[in-house]
Copies of this chain bind each other. A is one copy, B any other.
Amino acid sequence: MANQLDSFFAALADPTRRAVIERLARGAAPVSELHAPHDMALPSFLKHIGKLEAAGLVRSEKKGRTRIVHIEAAPLKEAETWLHQQRALWEGRLDRLQSLAEALERKPS
């Protein structure tokens, strides 16, 4: 039953991984370039890339001895949709409460 949202959100719950996504949103890049700004050993960094890839947020392919990483937008959209639905539900409820309050105000018992 563990929804794919599990791994999507878990993948985004880490600042290193969000930074990678932010970088990749501006275009694909090889691992070495993605790694450069992060003060962390390469193997540790590769684990993050692995999580992103396992969550389907990212794709990668080997070109010669370098590995190019691309973002995958569909899961971002799915997560965004879930969040939006919850918010819409909640805000819809607030609207209805407000209507109720106004109705009660117009017609006090």
Chain A contact residues, CB within 8 Å of chain B: 1-3, 5-7, 9-10, 12-15, 18, 21-22, 24-27, 71, 73, 76-77, 79-80, 82-84, 86-87, 89-91, 93
Contacts and interface: CB of A to CB of B under 8 A. Distances in A.
A6 B2 contact: no
A71 B10 CA distance: 21
B93 A84 contact: no
Contacts of A12: 5, 9
Q: How many of these chains are in the complex?
A: 2
Closest 3 CB pairs of A and B: A10-B13, A9-B13, A25-B89
27 contacts: A5-B13, A6-B15, A7-B13, A9-B9, A9-B10, A10-B10, A10-B13, A13-B13, A21-B86, A22-B86, A24-B90, A25-B87, A25-B93, A26-B89, A26-B93, A71-B86, A73-B90, A73-B91, A76-B83, A76-B87, A76-B90, A77-B83, A79-B83, A80-B83, A80-B84, A80-B87, A83-B83
Q: Chain A interface mostly helix, strand, loop or mixed?
A: helix
